[in-house]
Chain A
Amino acid sequence: MKRSPFLSASRPGSVRLIPVRSLRLQLLAWVVLPLAGLLAVNLWTSRNSAIATADLVTDRMLLGSAKAIAEQVSMTDGVLDATVPPAAIELFDTGDRDSVYYRVETAEGRLLTGYPDLPIPPPKSSRSIEAAYRGQLLRLRAYRHPIIGAGEDSPVRVTVGITLAGHDAMVRRLWLNAFLQQLMLVVIAGVFVLLGLRRGLAPLLKLRDAVRSRKKTDLSPFSVPEVQSEILPLVDALNAYMGRVQAQMAAQRRFVANAAHQLRTPLALLSTQASYALREKGSEAREEALLALQTSTRRLARLAEQLLTLSRAEPGSRRPRADRIDLMAEARQVLEDHAPIAVKHRIDLGLDGSGTVIVGGDATMLREMIVNLVDNALRYTPEGGSVTVRVAEEGGMALLSVSDNGPGIPAAEREHVFERFYRIAGSEEHGSGLGLAIVREVADNTRGRVTLSDTPGGGLTVEVSLPLARS
């Protein structure tokens, strides 16, 4: 349970990423980031398809242009004549200032018209190529056209090339449209996520405000109408928790009221004894009253101590401890402290057991438990009686038992005597009714058990079994 000072001193987030705690941001990220990823993939494919479309369109235009040029090649007076029709060039006038190049040649490669150095696609290729020409990238397409009567010059090959400005503009136009549409989609999705969250989170925020604005003392259950079925368990758990806190506080209040109540009679006694002593003129009677006053004061101090012990035994009031303590040594110490009282009342006080019996737990509380056990036993044992404390290891548990030969506790009372301030009716001893409550609560906190039984021959035996400390 110990926290390393280094860990608590380091600022969270200085090393690792600050985790996103906002539900809104988390949900938004979960919706928008995958959408953006999809958008990227989609943009890539749509760019490809835009390029393919532009390629196709350009190629058709190149082919159409080449065919138009080829149609105009004819045999005139036995000579091949190639005249480029203006329509074949105007076809490309899309407003992007593209330059058109062409080259018409015979089957043997004799140039009929056009640019002699224009690159030509490889023979037999029916597809377009892209090649650099005069510092610009061109898309080129060749077309073979048979000319009747041209003999060996047939077929002529017409190659048309065009710069890519129009092509690229078309790609951009096609792609930009798709991009804008999809971007719109993501933005709209984001807006709807935010709106949905706003609506969906409203009950949760209402709950938050309700919790935040609660007075410290108000522990009544929260009621949040229109809360979703997913959040309902949270509200229920919160209310159940508040219920437990309320019960705990009520128990605490009862105890404090009870404690105040229990202090009143001893205080009245102190006050009476003091008044008596003040008025008494005879020195003997006065001394008697003062001695009685002293005894009452001690008893009241012991009661205060027991109350303090009980409040310490309260869950959460002390940090859980796992001291290793030797029951044997503690018992011996307590018995030594109580020996004078035992001698005074001629009670045979004995310790039974040897070696060490180590248990784990809160040393102060365990010691207080033994003190209360021994104190109780001595209190209820008549003059000349005996009290035996036994410490042993049995069945994997540490065992501490205190036997007296006092009046014992009737079976019907045995469950009640562990209640705080419970006193057996008609009991004349000056017990506070807290001793066994302390024993039970300390044992519970140490995961132990307390049982009451009869001492053979009469009297009470209180047996506490505690888990042994792990070695």
Chain B
Amino acid sequence: MRLLLVEDNQELASWLARTLRQAQYTVDVVHDGEEAEHALAVGEHALVILDLSLPKRSGLDVLRELRARGNAVPVIVLTANASLDGRVRGLDQGADDYLAKPFEIEELEARIRAHLRRASNRAETVIACGDLVFDTNTRMFTLAGETLGLTPREHAVLEQLVLKAGRAVSKGALSGAIYDFDTDADPSAIEIYVHRLRKKLEGSRVEIVTLRGLGYLIRHEA
């Protein structure tokens, strides 16, 4: 899952990003309103965490334009202004959620999970694909009851496939979900991650199928 974090305080941004990466998210960090607009124009993020007090363009402006373009990506607004008025304005401009600083990282993560779940139109917190089970709360995969050890990249690829189980996921969509802006995206590397995942899934009833020209699909034997 790739998140966009927009926060002008560089230190807070960097530590938030580190903490979210710890939880297996791919995180892009930008520090001002203009950078946020550029990042959002690419449109590969599953969720945006947006601070409202930003240099160059205010968070509210960024949010308003995002919604005006018809982009429905979930947005959690972070702000130091905890007044009711500020909260109402944020939500009215199209924010999905509102978190006042200081907040507990656990709460931010729980809200990220909730909004991601809603965005993928799933109500359940556990997604099963045969004997492969993904718990969206702990963000852990288990195969036949045993925890599956994965690198962050493998995790990101498998997550994308499981969330869209039964449907084809293109290589481009996969690389958009796993690479942040600081990494040179290498679509051919996707094949390597898929290859490794197939090895780890060997012996189970789950398989990753290659659809030429379309991408990959995960399915399980009945």
A433 to B10, CA, bound (A): 16
Instruction: Say yes or no: is A275 at the interface (Cβ < 8 Å to chain B).
Output: yes
Q: Which residue of A lies closest to B104 (CB)?
A: A271
**Contact assessment for B19 and A272 in the assembled complex, using a CB-CB cutoff below 8 Å:** yes
B10 touches A428 (CB 8 A): yes
For the complex, is B56 an interface residue (Cβ under 8 Å from A)?
Answer: yes
Q: Which residues of B contact A269 (CB under 8 A)?
A: 9, 11-12, 15
> Given A268-B103, A425-B55: A292 and B15 within 8 A (CB)?
yes
Nearest CB of chain B from residue A390's CB, rounded to whole Å: 33
A237-B19 Cα distance, complex, nearest whole Å:
59
Chain B residues positioned under 8 Å from A280 (CB to CB): 22
CB closest chain-B residue, reference A296: B11
Contact string against A for B residues 161-205, beta-carbon threshold 8 Å, 1 for contact and 0 otherwise: 000000000000000000000000000000000000000000000
B103 near A271 (CB under 8 angstroms)?
yes
- A273 adjacent to chain B (CB < 8 Å): yes
Given known A264-B100, A265-B101, A268-B102, contact A276–B15 (CB-CB < 8 A): yes
CB nearest neighbor in A for B83: A257
A426–B11 alpha-carbon span in the complex (Å) = 14
* Nearest A residue (CB) for B9: A265
Residues of B within 8 A of A296 (CB): 11
Contacts of B103 in A (CB 8 A): 268, 271
Rounded to whole angstroms, the CA-CA distance of A425 and B80 in the bound complex is 17
Residues of the B chain whose Cβ atoms lie less than 8 Å from the Cβ of A276: 15, 18-19, 22, 105
B98 to chain A, nearest CB (A): 14
- Bound: A390/B82 CA distance, A: 44
Please, what's the 1-or-0 string for B1-36, where 1 marks a CB less than 8 Å from any CB in chain A? Answer: 000000001111001101100100000000010000
The count of residues in chain A whose C-beta lies closer than 8 Å to any C-beta of chain B is: 22
* A267 interface residue (CB < 8 Å to B): yes
Q: How far is the CA of A409 from the CA of B17 in the complex (A)?
A: 31
What is the CA–CA distance of A106 and B56 in the complex, to the nearest angstrom?
Answer: 137
B55 contacts across to A, CB distance below 8 A: 425-426
In the assembled complex, how far is the CB of residue A22 from the closest CB belonging to chain B, in whole angstroms?
Answer: 51
Residues of the A chain whose Cβ atoms lie less than 8 Å from the Cβ of B80: 261-262, 264-265
Closest A residue by C-beta to B16:
A272
Task: Tell me the minimal C-beta distance from B155 to chain A in angstroms.
Answer: 16
Contacts of A272 in B (CB 8 A): 12, 15-16, 19, 105
Q: How far is the CB of A116 from chain B (nearest CB, A)?
A: 121
B102, A264: Cβ atoms under 8 Å?
A: yes
Which A residues from 272 to 303 make CB contacts under 8 A with B? Answer: 272-273, 275-276, 279-280, 289, 292, 296
Residues of B within 8 A of A261 (CB): 80-81
Let me know if B221 is at the binding interface, CB within 8 A.
no
Closest A residue to B11 using CB positions: A269
Cα distance, A265 to B15, chains bound together (Å) = 12
> CB within 8 A of A275: which of B10, B12, B106?
B106
Complex interface: chain B residues within 8 A of A270 (CB): 102
In the docked arrangement, what's the CA distance between A360 and B80, Å? 40
Please tell me the number of chain B residues within 8 Å of chain A, measured between CB atoms. 23
A430 at the interface (CB under 8 A from B): yes
Which residues of the partner chain B approach A268 to less than 8 Å between Cβ atoms?
12, 78, 101-103
1/0 per residue, CB under 8 A from A, across B100-132: the answer is 111111100000000000000000000000000
Bound Cα distance from A72 to B5, whole angstroms: 143
**Residues of chain A lying within 8 A (CB to CB) of residue B78:** 268
Cβ contact within 8 Å between B10 and A264? no
A296–chain B nearest beta-carbon distance, Å: 7
Contact between chains at B22 and A273 (CB < 8 Å)? no
- For the complex, give the distance between the alpha carbons of A275 and B101 in Å: 15
Q: Are A425 and B56 in contact (CB under 8 A)?
A: yes
Contacts of A271 in B (CB 8 A): 102-105
Complex alpha-carbon distance, A435 and B87, angstroms: 31
Q: Which of A398-454 contact B (CB under 8 A)?
A: 425-426, 428, 430
Most chain A beta-carbon neighbours within 10 Å: one of B10, B56, B102: B102
Task: Type the 1/0 row for A238-257, where 1 means its CB is closer than 8 Å to any CB of B.
Answer: 00000000000000000000
Q: Which residues of A contact B101 (CB under 8 A)?
A: 264-265, 267-268
Closest CB-CB distance, B11 to chain A, in whole Å? 6
- CB of A305, distance to nearest CB on chain B (Å): 19
Distance in angstroms between the alpha carbons of A412 and B102 in the assembled complex: 33
Distance to closest chain B CB from A199 (angstroms): 51
Q: Which residue of B lies closest to A262 (CB)?
A: B80
Most chain A CB within 10 A, of B19, B55, B81, is at B19
Q: Across the interface, which residues of A come within 8 angstroms of B82, CB to CB?
A: 264
Cα-based distance from A428 to B31 in the complex (angstroms): 10
In the assembled complex, the Cα of A430 lies from the Cα of B55 at a distance in Å of 15
Q: Which residue of A lies closest to B106 (CB)?
A: A275
Asked, given contacts A261-B80, A264-B80, A272-B12, whether A279 binds B19 with beta carbons under 8 Å apart, the answer is yes
A362 to chain B, nearest CB (A): 32
Q: How far is the CA of A272 from the CA of B103 in the complex (A)?
A: 8
Distance (Å) between the CB of B201 and the closest chain A CB?
26
Collect the chain B residues with CB atoms within 8 Å of residue A264's CB: 80, 82, 100-102
Q: A262–B101 Cα gap in the complex (Å)?
A: 10
Tell whether A273 pairs with B15 under 8 Å between CB atoms, given A279-B22, A425-B55.
yes
Q: Which residue of B lies closest to A274 (CB)?
A: B105
> Which residues from A are CB-within-8-Å of B105?
271-272, 275-276
Distance A273 CA – B11 CA, assembled complex (angstroms): 10
Minimum distance in angstroms from A271 CB to a CB of chain B: 5
- How far does the Cβ of B69 sit from chain A's closest Cβ, in whole Å? 26
Q: Residue on B with the closest CB to A279?
A: B22
Shortest CB distance B132–A (Å): 25
User: A278 → chain B, closest Cβ, in Å?
Assistant: 9
With CB as the reference atom, state the residue of chain A lying closest to B105: A275
Q: Across the A-B interface, give the 7 residue pairs with the lowest CB-CB distance, nearest first.
A: A267-B102, A264-B80, A264-B101, A268-B102, A268-B101, A275-B105, A269-B12
Listed in ascending order, the chain B residues whose CB lies under 8 Å from chain A are 9-12, 15-16, 18-19, 22, 32, 55-56, 78, 80-82, 100-106
A-B contact pairs, 6 of them (CB 8 A): A261-B80, A262-B80, A264-B102, A265-B101, A269-B11, A272-B105
- Given known contacts A261-B81, A265-B101, A275-B106, what 12 new A-B pairs fall within 8 Å (CB)? A262-B80, A267-B101, A268-B12, A268-B102, A269-B15, A272-B19, A275-B19, A276-B15, A296-B11, A425-B55, A425-B56, A430-B11
